[in-house]
A and B are shown apart, each in its own frame.
Chain A
Amino acid sequence: MKVKVTVNGVAYERDVKPRTLLAYFLREACGLTGTHVGCDTSNCGCCVVVMDGGRAVKSCTMFAVQADGHQIMTVEGLANGATLHPLQQGFWDQHGLQCGYCTPGMMLTAYALLKHNPNPSEADIREGLAGNLCRCTGYQNIVKAVQQAAEKMREPVSARS
């Protein structure tokens, strides 16, 4: 089946089988390998992408055909050219990653979270990230990373360096 999915602002027209999962479509048909697959049961969140600007989606639990006509943001779409997104900067500054495998999904879940709730408490963040697993960091620095990003994103645009 032919699908047209806009990923990070670029339209990808591809021929896919109905059973192709969105995660593999992104990784293989679009060549964007930043989205990862970590489990079989939608528990780990390594595959999270953002659909239509604000919905975090586990891309291993959606078929590529369902994304036809929709917009998807993957981790590769977070940065603005050479400028890192505040979430990326936050994860780097706060040591919110070690092996890096959960990081794309974690940042994109946080992205959607901050859209709904730009000023989350620590409890809000821990609750909001509870669909994403991390085996390396123990989450503590991930929380700090999201807090840093949230603070930065609340600044008026002109104030951000």
Chain B
Amino acid sequence: MSTEAGHAVGVAMKRKEDPRFIQGKGNYVDDLTIPGMLYLALVRSPYPHAEIKKIDIADAMKKVPGVKAIITGKDLEAAGLGWLPTFHGFDKQMVLGIGKVLFQYQEVAAVFAESREAAADGAEAVQVEYAPLPVVADPFTSKTDQVLLRPDREQKTNHIFHWEVGDKDATMRALSSSPRRIKERLWFQRCHPAPLEPCGCVAYFDTMGRLQFHVTSQAPHVYRTALALVTGIPEDKIHVVSPDIGGGFGNKVPVYPGYVCAIVGALKIGRAVKWIESRTENLTSTGFARDYHMDVEIGATEDGRVTALHVATTADHGAFDAAADPSKYPAGIFGIVTGSYAFPVAHAEVDAYFTNKAPGGIAYRCSFRVTEASYAIERGMDILADELGMDAAELRRKNFIRKDQFPYPSALGFTYDSGDYHKTLDTALDAIGYKQLLEEQAEKRARGELMGIGLSTFTEVVGAGPSKHFDILGIKMFDSAEIRIHPTGAGIVRAGTKSQGQGHETTWAQIVAEELGLDPQTIMVEEGDTDTAPYGLGTYASRSTPTAGAAIAMAARRIREKARKIAAHLLEVGETDVEWKDYKFQVKGVPSKTVTMKEVAFAAYTNMAQNEPGLEATFYYDPPNMTYPNGAYVAVVDVDRETGEVKVRRFLAVDDCGTIINPMVVEGQIHGGLTEGFAIAFMQEIQYDGDGNNLNTNFTDYLLPTSLETPHWETAKTITPSPHHPIGAKGVGESPNVGSPAAFVNAVIDALSPLGVRHIDMPITRDKVWSAIRAAEDRKK
């Protein structure tokens, strides 16, 4: 596609960042080597809950050549660094075990050594004596408070918080007076983002006494501020650099004990320290996601108009509430649970509990808890359709928020910006041939074959967020851009976000090119260096395009304003006689008198007259609202009765993310997100047994689909721009992961519904399907 100066938004431009990756010249954190660098290995607890009686480091220090130092929780405590505040702010987290350990694989000691091998040998040689304590392996047991997990907290209970939104009384009244009602317990299982690059860092103090911290962080500025607050090192003396990151998906948002230990080691020993975790460590100790047990209740009239929605959730946060949520939202943006429907009244509540599992609750390829909410409502609506004997599409159509109702104030306090849900659904049903599929299904059912069609018509909420409501550790969730145009019309844009594969080096350049009539190939994009990038809250929760994308457009418009003055000077007219048209400055009413931005750029340095020299601008964007991407997904599945295998025959995703900056990038994001949704629906799970043992500690047991299992994805779009976003864009990276799990589950349950199967929790394994079929057949007998 053409990438000349001018039209750039909407162009499927090849990515500018690719050349280094395809040549193996990416700069990931493990690629960095500093002279004299030490390696850090962490000693971890085999026990899910135990007192630490004794840590004997003598053998490790004396008998393993190359071991330079070992620190424990007690050492950190003495330095005031024993505990980290979690991003959520509701809790703090041990860096290394102090007094006791609270989850299997918890960090207990840090070994610094000359080589990877010595560090591993050293860690093995550390002897820890534990006295096991009773294990709390699920949140319902935790709720009884029979075993108190966190005596360090003021409130002596395992209950972390209660959060609610909506009108409970009105909702419960409406439910009890509704002629039809469904109630179902839905569990969104614990999963883990598992980016292919594990977490890691290199820390060292340079000759100016500054902390140089290279780290896999999706939010480098927040790290810098958090480190300043926690360590007492002045913020100007901390340089955080997020290099190329091999996938984040929310896993690389929290600050991890390994990072703190690396920094402490670098400080105490005076040498650079590298910490790169193993896959096992990644899966067992870093930010997990989901683990929401949701009781969903929907009320309806006889003819299928919804009357009320109530969702009560029991949340398992593991040993520490390390959820990286905005501070006023301990349950994230779960309030989107009314989804695409005009519920007159609704109430949602979440109660969170500690357990002896890895800490967290991060936003895994979703806007905080939006996947859980979307799953709850889309499964709930299907269960309601089943109960009413109504077609699933018909029920949805009947209850959609109508196009003319936008901006729509939901019963749980959101103002949805825009959407045309009927059109999006119709587009999907037409494209998939819904009528024909229903006919085919009827024929197959007559022969006892199990074919299912599943819908998900989700609305999600991204772009955290407006300063009125959103902050992380008190820092408001704006984002920023700084643009500088050079004399020859090339330029550089720096933003406060940090791509981990989303393509910002291309898409941000496209926005600048579009706004300023320049060539995106010569607009350099930089992110992740806290010394140079303007302050931002990072990239996760699909917030980058809604916030930084907006900031870039607004900064570019500030540049255009400055440029207009210089253009007027070049065109020898007054400022008000110049307008921006067709990617050029033009004298109003005189189309032949134009000057390009490139010419203006040169003049900004060589012939600026009385105007300020140079051509740059900064913009910090506080979004006025969230954005609400939506979609209609259809899954078609065939179930093998004998083996319980579910084959996804077709999957169509129609997404509406407003204005699309780069269709190729958007399509790639959708393929990737659907693949993660597919994996979550059918195979991904971090399970703990009743004794607190983690059963899915590496990729042999935590299953990620390969090219062979992954279905072919069909994609389409509708475009309903966001009215409040400068370029109408909404963000899309996570929609497919948010909307698809319900489509898959709805399809499987639809296939099994003739047998009377009502629900199966994810991951939908072969055994679960086979067992459900067998149980149904037994019931018939």
Contact = CB atoms under 8 A, between A and B. Distances in A.
A–B proximity contact (CB within 8 A): yes
Interface of A: 17, 19-20, 24, 27-28, 32-41, 43-44, 46, 74-76, 78-79, 84, 88, 91-93, 95, 97-104, 107, 125-127, 129-143
B700 interface: yes
Contacts of B672: 98, 135-138
A137 B671 contact: yes
B18 A92 contact: yes
Given A136-B672, A139-B675, A97 B18 contact: yes
B698 A88 contact: no
Interface size class of B (residues with CB under 8 A): 35 or more
B706 A133 contact: yes
Nearest to A31: B33
Interface stretch (B233-241, B496-504, B517-525): B496-504
Contacts of A34: 23-26
Contact of A103 (B22, B30, B671, B704): B22
Contacts of B247: 99, 101, 135-136
Contacts of A126: 707-708, 710
Interface stretch (B94-102, B142-150, B195-203, B620-628): B195-203
A104 B28 CA distance: 13
B552 interface: no
Given A95-B15, A137-B675, A139-B675, 5 more contacts: A78-B23, A88-B23, A92-B19, A92-B22, A100-B18
B196 A95 contact: no
B23 A75 contact: yes
Interface string B316-342: 000000000000000000000000000
Nearest to B195: A135
Contacts of B117: 17, 19-20
Contacts of A130: 706-708
B301 interface: no
Most buried by A among B195, B673, B708: B708
B195 A99 contact: yes
Nearest to A129: B707
Nearest to B23: A79
Interface string B20-43: 111111101011010000000000
B708 A127 contact: yes
Interface of B: 14-15, 17-26, 28, 30-31, 33, 116-117, 194-198, 244-247, 249, 278-280, 500-503, 664-665, 667-669, 671-676, 698-700, 704, 706-708, 710, 712-713
A101 B198 CA distance: 10
Interface majority SS on B: helix, strand, loop or mixed?
A: loop
B698 A41 contact: yes
Contacts of B664: 95
A103 B706 contact: no
A38 B22 contact: no
Contacts of B30: 27, 33, 36-37
A38 B558 CA distance: 43
B26 A100 contact: yes
B713 A135 contact: no
A150 B381 CA distance: 46
Given A36-B197, A41-B698, A140-B713, A99 B279 contact: no
A40 B21 contact: no
Nearest to B24: A34
A41 B21 CA distance: 24
A95 B22 contact: no
A41 B700 contact: yes
Contact of A44 (B20, B196, B278, B710): B196
Given A40-B279, A137-B668, A103 B707 contact: no
Nearest to A125: B707
B698 A141 contact: no
Contacts of A103: 21-22
Nearest to B677: A138
A76 B23 contact: yes
Contact of A134 (B196, B500, B712): B196
A131 B708 CA distance: 10
A138 B502 CA distance: 14
Please give me the 9 A-B residue pairs with the lowest Cβ-Cβ distance, nearest first.
A34-B24, A101-B246, A99-B501, A100-B21, A138-B671, A75-B24, A98-B501, A138-B675, A43-B699
B210 to A, nearest CB: 25
A105 to B, nearest CB: 9
Nearest to B365: A135
B699 A39 contact: yes
11 contacts: A37-B30, A39-B279, A40-B278, A41-B698, A43-B699, A44-B699, A98-B503, A99-B501, A100-B244, A101-B197, A135-B676
Contacts of A127: 707-708
Contacts of B28: 33, 36, 101
A149 to B, nearest CB: 11
Contact of A91 (B22, B31, B674, B707): B22
Given A126-B707, A133-B706, A38 B197 contact: yes
A50 B781 CA distance: 58
**Most chain A CB neighbours (cut-off 10 Å) among B22, B245, B665:** B22
A74 B24 contact: yes
Contacts of A28: 33
Contacts of B713: 138, 140
A40 B698 CA distance: 7
A107 B24 CA distance: 11
**Most chain-A CB neighbours within 10 Å: which of B15, B18, B712?**
B18
A86 B706 CA distance: 23
B62 to A, nearest CB: 21
A107 to B, nearest CB: 7
Nearest to A74: B24
A99 B707 contact: no
